[in-house]
Chains A and B, each alone.
Chain A
Amino acid sequence: MSIQGKKVIEILEKISEKIDENKAYLSELDAAIGDGDHGLNMSKGFKAVVEKIKDDDGNDIGGILKKSGMALVSNVGGASGPLYGTAFMKAAVSVNGKSEVDINDFAKMLDEALEGIKMRGKGQADDKTMIDAIEPALKSIKEGIDSGIEVKEILKAAKEAAYKGVEHTKEIIAKKGRASYLGERSLGHQDAGATSSAIILETIYEALN
């Protein structure tokens, strides 16, 4: 199964809608152990993404993702700007010039995105960040590809792995971001960045289901 540029644009539009629907929830999570602006920032950022790419001809998926990354950097005020921005821009490189992408491309894109996030934020698994949702999702996608299971099932498993990662963030102490200043008090709270990452992966699954 492979998808074309126009479908990628449609998926990004759906992501923007889903993030907007969840912005109060995301900000609430962020207020508990952060500065409370994650939902607002992400919603603003993805609306800017849609503005930038809605009229793109869809012939270069790398170009679409790069524009998306830049829009996020310019419109998301918190740490998510440079982090999600870098994620999209790094993912873009692996599909530069491509008008069509399949699950193998998606795995490569997510791999590059994750490396970008780790490079930018100097984070790792169990820091209680977006990495804790994305890394398990990526692992599950690679396993799915290796096992030869159907793409829809792979994306479903990725979504589930991401949400499991989100649950896990409740059990750990924050080592990055504003929450890291709270130490033990961050325990028991769900990370907002991991949550928005899971929402994005869930939207991708739903769009292709």
Chain B
Amino acid sequence: MSRPVIGLTTYAEEARFGLQDTFAAVLPFSYVQAVHTSGGRAVLIAPDEPDDDVLDGLDGIMFTGGSDVDPALYGEQPHPTTKVKPERDAAEIVLLRAALAADLPILGICRGMQLMVVAYGGRLHQHLPDVLGHHNHRPISGPKFGEHAVRLRPGSHSHDVLGDLVLVNSFHHQGIADPGRLTPVGWCPDDNLIEVVEDSSHTFAVGVQWHPEDTKDFRLFAALVSAARQRRSGTAERAGAGRAPR
């Protein structure tokens, strides 16, 4: 059985690799491995002139981590620590809105979750240490990732996937102030920061604040791929005979 095709948004940054130092479309390979291990086929969607035509061939889409979302998009002035990539925001917001309109299965990770919140009319805390008084969500010394629990709300889609409680890694300095029209369904019990949001009116629209691609816990990817597979087989049935061979 052919695998569902999952689009992954990419960073567009000056990158150094091998002997090269060049502007690149770049994404940690851990995201790719998470999708492939979970039975999907990853394709990378570099930011491009805003247009949603690329969604046509996708069965699901993942909004990945990266720079801060431009606070202008939720009507605020930038905090001194806020670092934005407006081209990425512009391209990804277009893709996100079109993906939602098409009920394409969506998983947002870290920045991707924050982008979902902004698209749903919410707002972000621009620098969590100012609000929470601690650096636990992005350690300033020691290991790269922080670590904390997340408690899930029973009855939510995310609870079906992750259960009551999950231990997560953490590498972010912004967080959700207001989830907008998304439903908050997971919190860090230490400081009540929202860690998981979803839109239950969609087949699969979930955002998480941590980085499951950098763990061994791929349940969220499996859930995304599963929703994408169902969509793919549904599309094939409607077409009558599956995707016609090229």
- The answer to whether A and B assemble together is no
The interface of chain A, by Cβ under 8 A from chain B, is none
The interface of chain B, by Cβ under 8 A from chain A, is none
